[in-house]
Amino acid sequence: MKKWIAAVVVAAIVVLAAVFFWPDGKLPFLSNETAEEFNITIFHTHYEPGSISVKQGSLVRLNIITAEGTSSYMHGITIDGYGINELVTSETVPKAITFMADKAGTF
């Protein structure tokens, strides 16, 4: 029983700390907002689609795979303005990246 209470207290502290330190106190994983989803395929020289557009403040989910026959290459995706830098190695299982588009601009 004491371990259960300790686990609940630790979980509450983690959530409160995340809210305190996250920009604007908005945690995408606690949001009721539905994410705008985009399926992206990485080829050797480009991405498909080549660009996406979202409204500032939107929750965004990118589902990314590599093109057929390219999974052995070191493909990845980087969005500097959001600190995203992920390796994508599968042709069938998407790498899911979720973030809050809280900045205006082109990335």
Of 4-8, 12-16, 85-89, which range is least confident?
12-16
Q: Is the dihedral of CA 103, 79, 37, 11 positive or negative?
A: negative
- Does this model's pTM top 0.85? My answer is no
- Rounded-to-integer distance, Cα 53 and Cα 48, Å: 13
Residue that the structure tokens 């969005």 belong to: 79
- Rounded-to-integer distance, Cα 18 and Cα 21, Å: 5
Q: Are the beta carbons of 89 and 82 closer than 8 angstroms? A: no
79-92 residue pLDDT tens: 999 999 999 999 99
18-67 residue pLDDT tens: 555 555 455 555 556 688 999 999 998 999 999 999 999 999 999 999 99
Residue that the structure tokens 């630790």 belong to: 10
